[in-house]
Amino acid sequence: MRKAKVREAKAKSEETFKAIADEWLARLEIEGRATKTLQKMRWLLDLAYPLIGNRPIADLTVPELLEVLRTVEVRWRYETATRAVRIGRSGSG
């Protein structure tokens, strides 16, 4: 039982926002998405990484994700924040 909990904790710590996002981007690249599209997605995710990149994805809360979007908005990037919402929706499906 203890080993199972240790494995679960290790898996959870490896499933960070950045790791999942990088995996998702790699999958999109394999699917043949345009280079420019991938560059834009990487740029957008680079805005989120300092805030939530190292956090386990299972531990992220809606208020934390909203904070990321608000941070982008504060930088006068409302359109970018809107794109982040769209990317978040497509990644969670």
pLDDT digits over 40-91, tens only? 889 889 889 999 999 999 999 999 999 988 887 776 666 677 777 777 666 6
- What CATH class has 2-92? mainly alpha
| Dist. CA 70–CA 6, nearest whole Å | 35
Is the four-CA dihedral 42, 93, 60, 69 of positive or negative sign?
positive
Q: Is 73 exposed, middle or buried, given 0-12, 13-18 or 19+ CB atoms closer than 10 A? A: middle
The token pair at 83 is 């794109």
pTM of the entire predicted model: 0.67
